[in-house]
Amino acid sequence: MIYFDHNATTPLRPEVRAAMEPFLGDIFGNPSSPHAAGRQARAAVEMARQQVASLLGASPQELHFTSGGTEADNWALCGHDQIVTSAVEHPAVLFSAQARRDLGGDVTFIPVDEEGRIDPAAVVDIVGSSDAGVVSLILANNETGTIQPLAQIGSRLRQRSVLFHIDAVQAFGKIPVDVDRLGADLMSLSAHKINGPKGVGALYVRPGTVLAPWTHGGGHDGNLRAGTENVAGIVGFGAAAALRQTDMEEDAGRLSGLRDRLERGVLESIEDVVINGSRSHRLPGTLNISFRRVEAESILLGLDLEGIAVSSGSACTSGTAEPSHVLLAMGREPRLAAGAIRFSLGYQNTAAEVDGVVELLTPIIQRLRALSVY
Ligand X SMILES: Cc1ncc(COP(=O)(O)O)c(C=O)c1O
Q: Can you give the binding site for ligand X, defined by CB under 6 A?
A: 68-70, 73, 90, 92, 138, 142, 167, 169-170, 190, 192, 201
Q: How far is the CB of 7 from ligand X (least distance, A)?
A: 6
> For residues 27 and 316, which CB has a smaller minimum distance to ligand X in the complex?
316
**Residue of closest CB approach to ligand X:** 69
316 is catalytic: yes
d(CA 310, CA 291): 14
Tell me which of 316, 322, 331, 362 is the catalytic residue: 316
Specify burial of residue 369 (Cβ count, 10 A radius: 0-12, 13-18, 19+): middle
Q: How far is the CB of 292 from ligand X (least distance, A)?
A: 26
> For residues 44 and 88, which CB has a smaller minimum distance to ligand X in the complex?
88
> For residues 188 and 290, which CB has a smaller minimum distance to ligand X in the complex?
188
- Under a CB-based contact definition with an 8 Å cutoff, are residues 269 and 338 in contact? no
Q: How far is the CB of 174 from ligand X (least distance, A)?
A: 11
> For residues 5 and 40, which CB has a smaller minimum distance to ligand X in the complex?
5
* Residues annotated catalytic, as ranges: 316
